[in-house]
Amino acid sequence: MLLFVRYGVPITIVLAGAIALCFGTEDSFYGGASLIGAGLSVWLISWAYRIGVHGDADRYAEDQARRYYDRFGRWPDERR
C-alpha cells in the first residue's frame, strides 16, 4: 500500500494528464499540463517528506552517540 501511495498515485495523475493532452483541444492541453504538474508535485512532496524523516533518524543516532560519550567517555565506534 505504501508503494502505491508513494509511486502509484503520482504516476496515475501524470498518466491522466498525458491522456488529457491527447484530446487536442486548448482546454485539454491546459488541463493535461496541470495534471502532470500536480502528479509531479505529489511525488516531490513525498520525496521531501522521506528526506525529512531520514534526517530525524540521523539526529536521533547522533543524540544516542552523545549520550554514550557522556556515560563512557568515548564514541560508540571507538576501540581502545
Residue pointed to by grid coordinates 502505491: 4
Domain coordinates of the chain in residue numbers? 2-72
DSSP 3-state assignment of 25?
coil
Distance of CA 26 to the CA centre of its chain: 32
pTM of the model: 0.68
pLDDT tens digits, one per residue of 3-30: 898 999 999 999 999 999 999 899 999 9
Predicted confidence (pLDDT) per residue in 31-79, tens digit: 999 999 999 999 999 999 988 888 788 888 899 999 999 998 888 877 6
Helix (H) or strand (E) holding 27: helix 26-72
